[in-house]
Structure 1
Amino acid sequence: MVIHTKEKAKIHAHEPKGAKIKGSNIYTVERGPKTIGAKVSDDKKKSYRKSTIHQSEPKNKGLSRFKRNLKESNISIKTKNTNLHIAGRTSALAAGAVTEQVEGGQEVSQAAYLAYESSRPVTGTASKGAALFRKKAAAEAKKRIKKVEAGKKLAKKTAKKAAKDTAKTVAKETAKETAKTTAKVATKTATKAAATAAGTAVAPGVGTAIGMAAGYAAGVSIEVKDEKMTNRSRKIKFFLDKMKAQENQTDSVAKLVKDLIVRKAITWVKAAAPIIGLVLLLLVLVVAMIAVPVIAVIAILYNSPFALFLPPLESGDTVQTVTSAYVQEFNRDVNTKVNEHTGYDLGELVYVDYEGMEENPSNYYDIMAVYMVKHGVGDTATVMNDTSKGWLQAVVNDMCSYTTSTGTKDVEETDADGNVTTVTKSVLYVNVTLKSYRDMISVYGFNSDQVEMLEQIMSPEFMGQLGYAGSGSGGGGGSPGVSSMTEDEINAILNEITDSRQKTVCSYALHRVGFPYSQDLRDSGNYYDCSSLAYNSWKDAGVDISYGGATTAAAEAQGLDEAGKTVSFDELQPGDLIFYSFTSNGRYKNISHVAVYVGNGKVVEALNESLGVVYRDVASTGKIVVIGRP
């Protein structure tokens, strides 16, 4: 039997491609005597699915139904002229032709058709697999061709791409670093500004501190994150380098460790820098808080009269040296005048109305105090330039002056034979007036503040720093004595005095030991000079020793001497008054000091501003000119 087939035959089938056989879809046909009258059971209503084999009309044969099914199918499967497909279909057609001629051939034909249908998935799969294999092979070939072409193109573009990538990388890294730095600064600034605003809402001044703290915290956080990212990038770079060939490797573990340590150190330094800066700032502020007031006080002092007691601002001349030079110059002029006494037999220097125990009185310290109060307020008067020297010279001229006068004086002379005669000689008197700081208060019209400063400067506490011990320093010789006494010590002295009036005088004087010295406040009862102590001691006993309304030492001595109430040194008794002459002052017998004798060779006397009223031994006996007993 010859069966003709077409090339690339198209076989149509229903989906799914596999054949399914269900019992309810199979029908049988009886042929021959045994099948006469056979009927298809229709007890139940038949229902069929599209993909199943449908029930045919009794007249339809198996091959006719197969052809009909092929025509009704909407899906076509293209197959190649393979032996598998040809054999499949040939077997099916052959089965149909043969079985038509034999009994039971229809069943055989159906079985063949069913076998063909069941084999279709296998044949389809095989063909699909072959198609996929060919497609994959073609794709691989095409891919190899593309790789070759891509390699050629890549080789041509390598130089351009390398230059382009390098420039792009540099620009990218620069932009990245710039953006990173900008982001850090912006974050810190924004955080600081926000925290400052929030802190300011709480309390003035708090905002700045909170803002600084918040900005610092934000900066530290950013630096830590940046460090982690940098370290990660460095480690990746290290591992990538190790993946290269041995001869191409440029990195090492030592370099990696060094870079990580350096980055960690940089992070620590950046984190610690604000703290260190803050600590330094706080130290500077503390020092400034301490130093600025001190500097301000020092600046104020140097622009005040008290600059006299501070170290000089410039080397060279000082207030002390210039004042000393001017005073010495004045004394030279006076002494020259006295020693020359041109046209006169004698010349005599007189310190007008001086009271004290100095043989050569001086108002050196008074001059400096007055100068500083007059010119040192709001000005650095201690800087000795031409202007300040002129100011100081003017003060010296106002406080140191002299006049001359003439007179006669009886002088006893002894000739060669020892005969003593009295001779009257002409005398040129050079009368020196040394004004004290108290005198200048009215001369310069100082106000209360200036007077207060003047008193402070002339106090023993301040002037002692310049070596000043007060007028009559040293008390005319002898020990300075004591400036305080207990009640028992006073009573021990008084118990030896039997005369009640003498005891009253001595008790008053002894109880004033330690009182301060002052000529201006001599009548206040709280300050004493030598003559006011003597006057008040006898006044307490009911005796007035003033003379002509004056209570100076010279006036008191003159009154007692003229009244004949004087005794010799050997006749001294408690309460007696000892009058001294240390220099010529133009007063009675040039007396300038007086002391109250209290027995046992001791006296109570007001010495000077430094020592005040003291209890000591009788001193300077060679200067005693009168001893009075009221």
Structure 2
Amino acid sequence: MKIRKTDDRPMVIHTKKKPKLHLHTGKKPVVRKKAGNTSVTVKRKKPHSGIRERLTESGKSVKVRNQRLKTMAAAGIRTEAGQVEGGEEIKESLDLAATVAAPAVGVTFGAGKLYRRKKAENKEKERKAGIKKQQGQKDTGRVETSDRSGKDAGNKKRGQNGKKRKGSKDSSGKKRRKGSVNGAVKGHMIDTFLEAFRTERQEQKDLITSTKSAAKAAALLLAKQAAVVLAPVLLIVFFVIAIAGIIVVAILAVIYNSPLAIFFPLPDTGYDNPRTVLSEYYRDFNSGITALEEQGYTVTYQNSEDGVPVSNFNDTLMVYMVKYGTGQAAYVMDDEGKKHLKEVFDEMNYYDSASSKTEIPAGKSLGEVVTTGYCNCSLCCGKWAGGHTASGTVPRADHTLAVDAHSPKVPMGTKIVMNGKTYKVEDTGNFARYGTDFDIYFDNHAAAQAWGKRKVEAFLAEGDENTVEVTVSGTLVHNLTYKDYLALNKLTEEQKDWLESMMDDDMQENFAAGIGGQAVADLAMTKIGCRYSQDKRYQEGYYDCSSLVQRLYKEAGITLPATAAAQGKYCYDNAMIINKKQLKPGDLIFYSYEENGEFRNISHVAIYVGDGKMVHAANPSRGVVLDPLRTNSVVFYARPY
């Protein structure tokens, strides 16, 4: 703001000089003695009487003049403000400042006035108390004087009997009278000092009390003003919080009545959790498949990965939520909820007990290979006739495959897809010199001779680079994935969008729990270097493959069976099978290296620890070691919690 002066007129303020005070010292007090030594009077002349009254009047005059000076100064400022540009704003600022300061000034003035009134009342009480005290001292003096007069008369009478005795009595009487006068003066001085001390203490207390009262009044006034200012703000904040709460409740209500409810902690409905109910359905289904395997049926899965059956647990659960979780709470497992979940389960999990053709994913093509046939007779196997294979397993038709012992086409344990079947390399021979790549096992010599020598295209079973049609004899398990279910066209377009979104890798990553498994993986890393022993498997520092898994999971609060095959069966029966791409630290990998007659011929187990590595008790020479993840001879992957 630019200020321009219109007229420079100096302001002259006349003040009165302070009055000079001339003080005169008082004269010494005059002590008069009455005849007969009957009383003593001490007179003190008040020095400069009337000075206090003149000072009070002078103070009033100064206060009046100071107030006039303030008024004149304010008027001068307002006059000057009116002569410059922006003067109106200055006036308004002065008025606003005076209005804001008025409550505090009023409180301070009231406190001072209260203090002065209290002080005047106390002085009046002290004056009256002093008068009463002096009156009491005069009465006491008269009594003492009368007593002393009687004693002096008796002394005079007794003094007439002897001159020497009279002189002695007069001397002692003078000493007593002198001591009485000095004691009275000292007592009066002490009383005066104590009274002044008490008065000063009382004034201090009154000052503190009045100050506290003024502070409380000012604080109360400030609180009221703050309440007036902050009340609208607090109301706005409360309103915003209430609106936010309503929005959150509305969002949760929408979520828990949609398919997304399965990704959130489910409320207590008084019924079982959908995952628990679905696990029971899988347990019954897998028990039936196990019974077929025990009866000698060959079980093949429609969907497998690297020769390992694909778990469709999450696929089944998500399809159910999409079909029955829109606009209603599908997680409530009452009779109707269980019925709908069982319908979806039966659509996505079933098996056929007959030979059939199906397409399965396969890995890299080996091109055309030369194959021959053999059986377990002496003509084909010589001195090894009727025995086990080179890997220690019992040979089976449409399953066992042999490679040359000196120049193998693929390593032992490799799974090969050819001629519409899936084989596993379990045996060796000496036939590379005849140009044979694979020797196929048959149940009898006639079937082996009928096969002769043929060229067929072979594929590695592990991988998904190719899709191969195979003929399945025995039992084919249809474990449909969500993509297979989409192909059935049983969902609306909106439901299809929901399902694809919920089966996204990121969503499934959040859905899978891995906290307990991470603790097991961390414990497994601490066991690297421990020794291998089946006899001492429960002693500290000694492990075999299954005791390592059992003991570490026990520390995490999960109880598992004692052997690898039993642990695998437990996971299989309780629908804990997972896919390779779902592996998390702490998950288990079950292997089959031999035909041992146990569940799925499981003979080894390892713990996945992340980053493509696993910890396992390998053998007596290596002990507990950290190795890269091995995918050959895998039966399945599992998460036992």
Q: TM-score, with normalisation over the residues of structure 2? A: 0.31
Q: Tell which has more relative contact order, 1 or 2 (C-alpha 8 A, sep 6+).
A: 2
> Which has more strand, going by share of residues?
2
Larger Rg: 1
